[in-house]
């Protein structure tokens, strides 16, 4: 390794040192002949890879002795080798010292650590004009080691190096060595190697050592994925994405990735690998399961011990083999014990009732270790005394509740033949019975049926109903089981409920029941009798007698009289309930509107926002307002952005006892300061105080391990402005108003808590999958710059002026009223589908235009009522702006929503065109009012002095006088009056459009903006103008 020195004069060369001192070593140079060794040590530091570690081996030095190799004693009397120069008596020094060629080894940015001492110029007499206390560091890139001489023009300056402390003559006498250490970086580098050079300009300096190194993220294993040594990026803020490879006996679940930071630290890992089936994680490796253990799937679980009645004889088992006589069902998990079929049921009891049998039994003594036990019934019809002649009963026999898969221990068997022998077998089965069927699993019983009664009658009809009688008819039973001897009819008044009934018997299948009371409901039952006895009664038939005879046709349904009476009662009840609900709703709305019109004051018991920066200990605010979440409950899936404090990721949160949810995760990057951590967590301390459906919800924070994280709900559709631009024109006005209503509701909540947002804009509104809008972006402090662009600087960027109220710009007066101004801009953004407010105007032009009274025009297809609300939000006097409670009430008002749904808007072209069908015949104020269906207000216009269309057009000269038309309008009609004035506003803009079109055609489009400013200037309340853009350049007019 060579070092070259050069001054303005000639140079000479010394012999190089032995080759074994070249490399990554700390080298010392000594002239002391008593010291014969070189005290160097290998120096590899964590996250650093040393390129070269040396102190100048035998350089070229000038004849005048500028840079010289000198051995000195340190504070411990240990000799150290240095390169010194102290030519402070002569002016204009230019002494160079150069290293040999250093290979780059793939590094894009390298760091140079210099240790040196420097003499205080004040301690040297007579050198004030020539002595310096700095030197310069240079570098030169080269692809080979062929540079033998120093060419100053090839070198690029890295920095001027100054000492933190310098030594004096006193320090020399006391043997005090004031050693300075400075580190500089240079990059990006592109060639194979480089030289370093040191320029002395007149200092008294000694270079002790120079270490050249680069940073890398070391080889590591995270989530069973191995990440190799990775050199950091070329920039100090760059991130290098590295894909990991799964360790042996594992497979990818999600692609494992990590980012290598510029400081040599790995950032949050994404994705992971899982050990294969039959393997588990141990010490960062996937090792085979031990004998007697198994693992069925590729999961992050450990190997489990073989379940009962099973075993494994090999390492790496994915399942365990069942013991002899035990089985595992097809749908059984490998973790379930092996089981066996159950034993036979116990205590079978039979009860014969003519041609039906009821069977009951007890559960088996041994269920086989399973819970899925069920029972099957086998029915056999046998000959008398000969079981060998038994055959299946067939499909004519019925089982209640069922024949197979019984979960209860009893069954009823019907529709058997009379005087017949039957054998019934009850089989106990479970999920593994099919693998080992055995007679031991069943029990049987043999019975003989008796003579049977007839079955019940399926259909009874009322053929005729009169004032005092009912004519009934029915069908024969499906199974008479013999000769029908007679039928029995039982009937009673419905109110008696069988407490007092009458019986009528007949041999026919019809009868007339007489002597009934008029307008009375009766219930009828019919059953048949044979020699074996009576069968069961039929289902009840309900009939109501009437005053006029009428024929009933049907299957026994309620009579017409009953249907009409019940229907009438139901209708009456519905009417009464509806009237009650409407009355309550009107009362509630009236009260809500009255409260919204009043100023909100803070009452006792109302929750108030607490500024976390008022806490002496910021961690106390986090503990008080945010919930700590265990990092193991969070699964990061992908990076969706990079913020000022770190990465923003999406992932999942699974808290024990709750369902898994998608979340957004903000991480704090490594190497943060205490202030950065406090600022980062302040947003969580703020969000944690809010609980509202239109405010972004904080799930919790992770502060007890690294990285520090803030967990919030995940909003699938992202920011509102980008979402609207992506879906331009796809929503109805009512849907857009719904978004605005949600934002207004959230801002009302914040206002009631005395929280001022200061940065309300569509970009800070997030939208979820249900189109619910939620206010976000909390906790940023702002400082007004003297920038001509006049923007508030925040820790997250700059807040554009175009969203900020004028008093906040001029006087830093941030209040809920300034948030209302910003809300008006958000309304404009929503109705224009994310268009930029004021388009391409500069911030200074925006401020000037607002001060002159100009306001944004209505976006395309924006209802006039909504634009008027925007203008109210943009009142110059903040006390004249509506409160968020009033805004929320207005956007919820059904009357006003009906106006908005009609989507009244100013067209793209002039409205008052002579060819327009709406106004072609308008020649007077009366005609105009009649055309817009407002002719009942003709007298009001006349009384106010507006008798000609010209006077109406010039209402902008004294628009306040128009308010006199509605002074006496009752409160409940104010919405109608409001729509009336919006129509007046529409006519004004129509006439304005016609005038503009004529002037533009006559004088050219360059006069368009001047004309707008002239017409709008004297028009208070409707001061919108077209700033900086012509109508054809924008969706807004």
For helices 894-901 and 733-752, the axis angle rounded to 10 degrees is 140
Residue 870 falls inside a structural domain: yes
Query: Per DSSP, which regions of 819-939 are E strands?
Result: none
What is the CATH number for 670?
3.30.200.20
- What backbone torsions phi and psi does residue 194 show, to the nearest 5 degrees? -160, 165
Do residues 880 and 741 share a domain?
Answer: yes
Q: How confident is the model at residue 896 (pLDDT cuts 50, 70, 90)?
A: low
Q: How confident is the model at residue 106 (pLDDT cuts 50, 70, 90)?
A: confident
DSSP state string for 38-91: ----B---TTEEEEEEE---S-BEETT--SEEEEEE-TTS-EEEEEEEE--SSS
Q: How confident is the model at residue 309 (pLDDT cuts 50, 70, 90)?
A: very high
What is the CATH number for 242?
2.60.40.1770
DSSP H/E element including 663 = strand 661-667
Average pLDDT over residues 431-458: 82
Task: Reply yes or no on whether the pLDDT at 351 is more than 60.
Answer: yes
Query: Of the ranges 199-203, 576-580, 595-599, 977-981, which is most confident?
Result: 199-203
Task: Reply yes or no on whether the pLDDT at 958 is more than 50.
Answer: no
Do residues 523 and 434 share a domain?
Answer: no
Average pLDDT over residues 975-986: 44
Task: Reply yes or no on whether the pLDDT at 947 is more than 60.
Answer: yes
The pLDDT value recorded for residue 514 is 92
778 is in an annotated binding site: no
967 is in an annotated binding site: no
Q: How confident is the model at residue 1012 (pLDDT cuts 50, 70, 90)?
A: very low
The pLDDT value recorded for residue 52 is 54
Q: How many domains does the chain have?
A: 6
Q: How confident is the model at residue 923 (pLDDT cuts 50, 70, 90)?
A: low
Residues 6+ apart with CB under 8 A from 454: 477, 479, 480, 481, 482, 484, 528, 529, 530, 532, 535
Residue 562 falls inside a structural domain: no
146 is in an annotated binding site: no
- pLDDT: which is higher, 777 or 385: 777
Average pLDDT over residues 230-247: 87
Average pLDDT over residues 158-165: 92
Residue 578 falls inside a structural domain: no
Q: How confident is the model at residue 382 (pLDDT cuts 50, 70, 90)?
A: confident
- What backbone torsions phi and psi does residue 205 show, to the nearest 5 degrees? -140, 150
CB-CB contact of 67 with 10 (8 Å): no
Identify the weakest region by mean pLDDT among 336-345, 673-682, 826-835, 993-1002. Answer: 993-1002
Identify the weakest region by mean pLDDT among 130-144, 275-289, 597-611, 919-933. Answer: 597-611
Task: Reply yes or no on whether the pLDDT at 837 is more than 60.
Answer: yes
- What backbone torsions phi and psi does residue 819 show, to the nearest 5 degrees? -65, -35
Average pLDDT over residues 899-922: 39
Do residues 732 and 847 share a domain?
Answer: yes
759 is catalytic: yes
Identify the weakest region by mean pLDDT among 84-93, 573-582, 844-853. Answer: 573-582
What is the CATH number for 505?
2.60.40.10
Q: Which of 759, 819, 861, 893 is catalytic?
A: 759
* HEC string for 478-513: CCCCCCCCEEEEEEEEHHHCCCCCEEEEECCCEEEE
Residue 799 falls inside a structural domain: no
Residue 629 falls inside a structural domain: yes
Average pLDDT over residues 499-520: 91
Do residues 837 and 975 share a domain?
Answer: yes
Residue numbers of the domain that contains 490: 460-545
The pLDDT value recorded for residue 171 is 75
Residue 171 falls inside a structural domain: yes
Residue 371 falls inside a structural domain: yes
Do residues 477 and 363 share a domain?
Answer: no
- Long-range CB contact pairs, 228-232, < 8 A, 24+: 230/260, 231/49, 231/106, 231/107, 231/108, 231/260, 232/108, 232/109, 232/260, 232/261, 232/262, 232/263, 232/264
The pLDDT value recorded for residue 897 is 55
1014 is in an annotated binding site: no
Do residues 227 and 363 share a domain?
Answer: no
Identify the weakest region by mean pLDDT among 77-86, 205-214, 286-295, 598-607. Answer: 598-607
683-696 burial by CB neighbour count: b if 16+ within 10 A, else e? bbbbbbbbebebbb
201 is in an annotated binding site: no
193 is in an annotated binding site: no
The CA-atom distances, in angstroms, between 432 and each of 293, 337, 367, 372, 440 are: 23, 12, 11, 10, 14
Do residues 433 and 517 share a domain?
Answer: no
What is the CATH number for 938?
1.10.510.10
What whole-number distance in Å separates Cα of residue 906 and Cα of residue 900? 13
Q: What's the whole-model pTM score? A: 0.37
Do residues 653 and 781 share a domain?
Answer: no
- pLDDT: which is higher, 446 or 991: 446
The pLDDT value recorded for residue 931 is 58
- Mean pLDDT value across the chain: 76
Among 526, 545, 564, the domain boundary falls at 545
646 is in an annotated binding site: yes
Nearest-5° Cα angle at 913, 908 to 917:
100
Query: Of the ranges 824-838, 943-957, 999-1013, which is most confident?
Result: 824-838
DSSP state string for 216-251: EEPPEEETTEEE--EE--SSTT--EEEE-EEPTTEE
CB-CB contact of 345 with 357 (8 Å): no
The pLDDT value recorded for residue 954 is 57
pLDDT in tens, 21-50: 222 323 232 222 222 223 223 233 335 566
Residue 569 falls inside a structural domain: no
974 is in an annotated binding site: no
The fraction of the chain above a pLDDT of 70, given in percent, is 72
Identify the weakest region by mean pLDDT among 94-98, 148-152, 679-683. Answer: 148-152
pLDDT in tens, 701-725: 999 888 899 999 999 999 999 999 9
Do residues 739 and 878 share a domain?
Answer: yes
264 is in an annotated binding site: no
Do residues 389 and 481 share a domain?
Answer: no
Average pLDDT over residues 443-451: 84
* HEC string for 590-651: HHHHHHHCCCCCCCCCCCCCCCHHHCCCHHHHHHHHCCECCHHHEEEEEEEEECCCCEEEEE
Nearest-5° Cα angle at 945, 944 to 946:
100
Task: Reply yes or no on whether the pLDDT at 998 is more than 80.
Answer: no
Exposed, middle or buried by CB within 10 Å (0-12, 13-18, 19+), for 936?
exposed
Do residues 95 and 110 share a domain?
Answer: yes
CB-CB contact of 393 with 422 (8 Å): yes
- pLDDT: which is higher, 1031 or 518: 518
285 is in an annotated binding site: no
Task: Reply yes or no on whether the pLDDT at 685 is more than 80.
Answer: yes
Number of other residues whose CB lies within 10 A of the CB of residue 9: 10
Cα pseudo-dihedral 542, 544, 545, 551, rounded to 10: -80
Q: How confident is the model at residue 128 (pLDDT cuts 50, 70, 90)?
A: confident
The pLDDT value recorded for residue 965 is 42
Q: How confident is the model at residue 111 (pLDDT cuts 50, 70, 90)?
A: very high
Do residues 849 and 952 share a domain?
Answer: yes
Identify the weakest region by mean pLDDT among 637-646, 768-777, 928-937, 1010-1019. Answer: 1010-1019
Among 661, 683, 714, the domain boundary falls at 714
Task: Reply yes or no on whether the pLDDT at 733 is more than 80.
Answer: yes
Among 514, 545, 576, the domain boundary falls at 545
pLDDT in tens, 533-555: 788 899 999 999 986 544 443 44
Task: Reply yes or no on whether the pLDDT at 743 is more than 90.
Answer: yes
The pLDDT value recorded for residue 966 is 40
Identify the weakest region by mean pLDDT among 132-136, 411-415, 1004-1008. Answer: 1004-1008
pLDDT in tens, 263-282: 888 988 889 899 999 999 98
Average pLDDT over residues 1027-1037: 36
Residue 272, helix vs strand vs coil: strand
């Amino acid at each position: 390794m060579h070092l070259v020195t050069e001054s303005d004069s000639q140079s000479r060369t010394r012999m190089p040192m032995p080759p074994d001192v070249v490399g990554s070593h700390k080298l010392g140079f000594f002239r002391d002949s008593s010291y014969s060794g070189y005290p160097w040590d290998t120096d590899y530091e964590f996250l650093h890879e040393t390129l070269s570690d040396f102190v100048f081996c035998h350089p070229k030095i000038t004849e005048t002795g500028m840079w010289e190799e000198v051995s000195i004693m340190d504070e411990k009397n240990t000799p150290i080798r240095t390169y010194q120069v102290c030519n402070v008596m002569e002016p204009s020094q230019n002494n160079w010292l150069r290293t040999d060629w250093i290979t780059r080894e793939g590094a894009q940015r390298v760091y140079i650590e210099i240790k040196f001492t420097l003499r205080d110029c004040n301690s040297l007499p007579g050198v004030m004009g020539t002595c310096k206390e700095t030197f310069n560091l240079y570098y030169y890139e080269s692809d080979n080691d062929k540079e033998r001489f120093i060419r100053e023009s090839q070198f690029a300056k890295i920095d001027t190096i100054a000492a933190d402390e310098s030594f004096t003559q006193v320090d020399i006498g006391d043997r005090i060595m004031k050693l300075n250490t400075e580190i500089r970086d240079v990059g990006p580098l592109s060639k194979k190697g480089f030289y370093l050079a040191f320029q002395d300009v007149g200092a008294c300096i000694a270079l002790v050592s120079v270490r050249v190194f680069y940073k890398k993220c070391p080889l590591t294993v995270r989530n069973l994925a191995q990440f190799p040594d990775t050199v950091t990026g070329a920039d100090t803020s760059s991130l290098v994405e590295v894909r990991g490879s799964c360790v042996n006996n594992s497979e990818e679940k999600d692609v494992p990735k990590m980012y290598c930071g510029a400081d040599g630290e790995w950032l949050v890992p994404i994705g992971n690998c899982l050990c294969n089936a039959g393997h588990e994680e141990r010490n960062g490796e996937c090792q085979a399961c031990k004998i007697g253990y198994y693992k069925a799937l590729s999961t992050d679980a450990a190997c489990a011990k073989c379940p009962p009645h099973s075993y494994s004889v090999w390492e790496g088992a994915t399942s365990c083999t069942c013991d002899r006589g035990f089985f595992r069902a097809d749908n059984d998990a490998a973790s379930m014990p092996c089981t066996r079929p159950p034993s036979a049921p116990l205590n079978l009891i039979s009860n014969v009732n003519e041609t039906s049998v009821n069977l009951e039994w007890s559960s088996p003594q041994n269920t086989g270790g399973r819970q899925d036990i069920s029972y099957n019934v086998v029915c056999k019809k046998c000959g008398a005394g000969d079981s060998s002649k038994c055959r299946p009963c067939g499909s004519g026999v019925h089982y209640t509740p069922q024949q197979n898969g019984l979960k209860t221990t009893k069954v009823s068997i019907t529709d058997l033949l009379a005087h017949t022998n039957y054998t019934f077998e009850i089989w106990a089965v479970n999920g593994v019975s099919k693998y080992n069927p055995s007679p031991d699993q069943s029990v049987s019983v043999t019975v003989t049926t008796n003579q049977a009664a007839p079955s019940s009658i399926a259909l009874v009809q009322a053929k005729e109903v009169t004032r005092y009688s009912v004519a009934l008819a029915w069908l024969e039973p499906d199974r008479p089981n013999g000769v029908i001897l007679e039928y029995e009819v039982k009937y009673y008044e419905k109110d008696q409920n069988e407490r007092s009934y009458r019986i009528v018997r007949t041999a026919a299948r019809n009868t007339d029941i007489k002597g009934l009371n008029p307008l009375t409901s009766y219930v009828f039952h019919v059953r048949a009798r044979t020699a074996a006895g009576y069968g069961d009664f039929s289902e009840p038939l309900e009939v109501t007698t009437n005053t006029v005879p009428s024929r009933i046709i049907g299957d026994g349904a309620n009579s017409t009289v009953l249907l009409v009476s019940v229907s009438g009662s139901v209708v009456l009840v519905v009417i009464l309930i509806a009237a009650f609900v409407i009355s309550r709703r009107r009362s509630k709305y009236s009260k809500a509107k009255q409260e919204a019109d009043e100023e909100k004051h803070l009452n006792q018991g109302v929750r108030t926002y607490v500024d976390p920066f008022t806490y002496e200990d910021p961690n106390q605010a986090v503990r008080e307002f945010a919930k700590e979440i265990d990092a193991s409950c969070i699964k990061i899936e992908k990076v969706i952005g990079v913020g000022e404090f770190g990465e923003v990721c999406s992932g999942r949160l699974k808290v024990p006892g709750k369902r898994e949810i998608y979340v957004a995760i903000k991480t704090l990057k490594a190497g943060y300061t205490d202030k950065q951590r406090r600022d980062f967590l302040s947003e969580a301390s703020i969000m944690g105080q809010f609980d509202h459906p239109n405010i972004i919800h904080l799930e919790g924070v992770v502060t007890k391990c690294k990285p520090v994280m803030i967990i919030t709900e995940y909003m699938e559709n992202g920011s509102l402005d980008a979402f609207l631009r992506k879906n331009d024109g796809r929503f109805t006005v009512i849907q857009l108003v719904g978004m605005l209503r949600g934002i207004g509701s959230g801002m009302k909540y914040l206002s009631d808590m005395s929280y001022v947002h200061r940065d309300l804009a569509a970009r800070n509104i997030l939208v979820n999958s249900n189109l619910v809008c939620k206010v976000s972006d909390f906790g940023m402090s702002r400082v007004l710059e003297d920038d001509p662009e006049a923007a508030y600087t925040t820790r997250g960027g700059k807040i554009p002026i175009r969203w900020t109220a004028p008093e906040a710009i001029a006087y830093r007066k941030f209040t809920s009223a300034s948030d209302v101004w910003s809300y008006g801009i958000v309304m404009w953004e929503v109705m224009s589908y994310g268009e930029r407010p004021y388009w391409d105007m500069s911030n200074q032009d925006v401020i000037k235009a607002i001060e002159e009274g100009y306001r944004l025009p209505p976006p395309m297809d924006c209802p006039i009522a909504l634009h008027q609300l925007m203008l109210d939000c943009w009142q110059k006097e903040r006390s004249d702006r509506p409160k968020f409670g009033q805004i929320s009430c207005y956007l919820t008002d059904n009357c006003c929503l009906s106006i908005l749904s009609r989507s009244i808007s100013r067209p793209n072209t002039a409205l008052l065109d002579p060819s327009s069908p709406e106004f072609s015949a308008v020649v007077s104020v009366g005609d105009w009012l009649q055309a817009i269906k407002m002719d009942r207000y003709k007298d009001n216009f006349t009384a106010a002095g507006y008798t000609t269309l010209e006077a109406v057009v010039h209402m902008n000269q004294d628009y306040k006088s128009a308010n006199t038309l509605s002074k006496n309008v009752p409160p409940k009609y104010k919405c109608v009056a409001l729509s009336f004035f919006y129509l007046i506003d529409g006519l004004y803009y129509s006439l304005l459009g016609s005038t503009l079109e004529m002037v533009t055609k006559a004088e050219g489009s360059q006069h368009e903006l001047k004309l707008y400013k002239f017409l709008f200037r004297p028009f208070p309340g409707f001061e919108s103008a077209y700033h900086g853009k012509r109508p054809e350049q924008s969706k807004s007019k």
